[in-house]
Amino acid sequence: MKAHTKETQSTMTPDKALQFLQEGNERFQNNLKANRNLLEQVNETRDGQFPFATILSCIDSRVSAELVFDQGLGDIFSVRIAGNFINEDILGSMEFACKLAGTKLIVVLGHTSCGAIKGACDDAKLGNLTTMLSKIKPAVKAVEEPKDESLRNSKNLDFVDNVATKNVLFAIENIRRQSPILQEMEENKEIKIVGGMYDISNGNVTFFE
């Protein structure tokens, strides 16, 4: 499989970009890989890059976007931060990726049993981590069940995963609200912004729009 070129990127649509990721995740789950020569892709991309998607995911070592979507060099922009939340720097990176570099899809990818989400659920305190986890607290508060405080912690994995899903949805809302550039591109159907959850137990990504 060749690296993407300006021509292949220009023919890509938001829906086709999403389909590419879905097909890549299916290959990953079936322990298959597209036939690509990475060193050859190094050579093909030395004068430029033409990725088709931008993926915001967690730093979790089990959730590498390039691997779980079976993508090669020059295929995707990968933005990673614990808890996959939005801030000004990440929004700037996304605006560059979509408006200037031509990607057609933004994916906010959460995952099950997320350590950052667990920390927010437990109100963990540790240096700069405290400030970082505060960005996830709104998602914790937004998940109403269970109401029993003794069950609203990292030991309740269903609660953790529900918070992770809510956190993804909040991130998408923040992208649209805080970036007029990306909101306009989405309204003009130049890009699509979607969320997804990666299951660390089986490698499956469930997308939701």
Q: How many angstroms separate the CA atoms of 196 and 109, rounded? A: 5
Is 121 marked within a binding site? Answer: no
Neighbours of 207 (CB within 10 A): 14
Is 89 marked within a binding site? Answer: no
Q: Which two tokens stand for residue 28?
A: 């990953």
Neighbours of 34 (CB within 10 A): 12
Element counts in the chain: helices (H) and strands (E): 10, 5
Is 114 marked within a binding site? Answer: yes
Is 111 marked within a binding site? Answer: yes
Q: Which element (helix H / strand E) includes 18? A: helix 14-29
Residue numbers belonging to the annotated binding site for Zn(2+)? 58, 60, 111, 114
Residue numbers belonging to the annotated binding site? 58, 60, 111, 114
